[in-house]
Structure 1
Amino acid sequence: MSEERKLYPEDQKRVDEYLKTGYNDVERKPFKPMRMIVMLIVVVTGFSAFSIFLARSSGVY
């Protein structure tokens, strides 16, 4: 549809220099899906137990 826009060489050079500075380069710990699943189970179970406690203490259940 439309032509791909390209930067002028001096602008591209500035962009390349900025990307090489590592300003947004952050070391991250590896993602642990099992830990997330365990935390999700703990939170859902906790909310469920709390809601059952509230229902029983108010005489609904």
Structure 2
Amino acid sequence: MTSRLSPEDQARVDHYLSAPQHQVERKPFRPWLLLAIVLASVIGLGLLSRLLSRLVL
């Protein structure tokens, strides 16, 4: 993909991104953990809503 920036602006962007504060090591993305958290949240909120409906009615 070609850049739409001028060479001077691209050099500034490259210099900015190469700074140490922008070189953060991150853990790999784990989609199964995200899916488990979402499912647990949905099931937990569903059970809580059923409990609350039985307490109110």
* TM-score of the aligned structures, taking structure 2 as reference length: 0.71
Question: By how many angstroms is 1:17 displaced?
Answer: 3.7
- % identity of equivalent residues: 32
Partner SS, residue 28 of structure 2: coil
Measured in 2, the distance between the counterparts of 1:51 and 1:38 equals 20
What residue is the counterpart of 1:23 in the other structure?
A: 21
Give TM-score, length-normalised by structure 1.
0.67
Measure how far apart 1:5 and its partner are. Answer: 5.6
1:3-59 Cα distance to aligned partner (Å, 9 max, x none):
x66255xx766x244433232111000000001101111000000000000000001
Higher relative helix content: 2
Do residues 6 (structure 1) and 13 (structure 2) align? no
Question: Per the alignment, do residues 5 and 36 of structure 1 end up closer, same or farther by CA in structure 2, a change over 3 Å counting?
Answer: closer
Label 1:56 to 1:21 Cα distance change in 2 as closer, same or farther (>3 A).
same
The one-letter code matched in structure 2 to 1:25 is Q
Q: State the number of aligned residues.
A: 53
Over the aligned positions, Cα root-mean-square deviation in angstroms equals 2.2
Structure 1: give runs of 5+ residues left out of the alignment: none
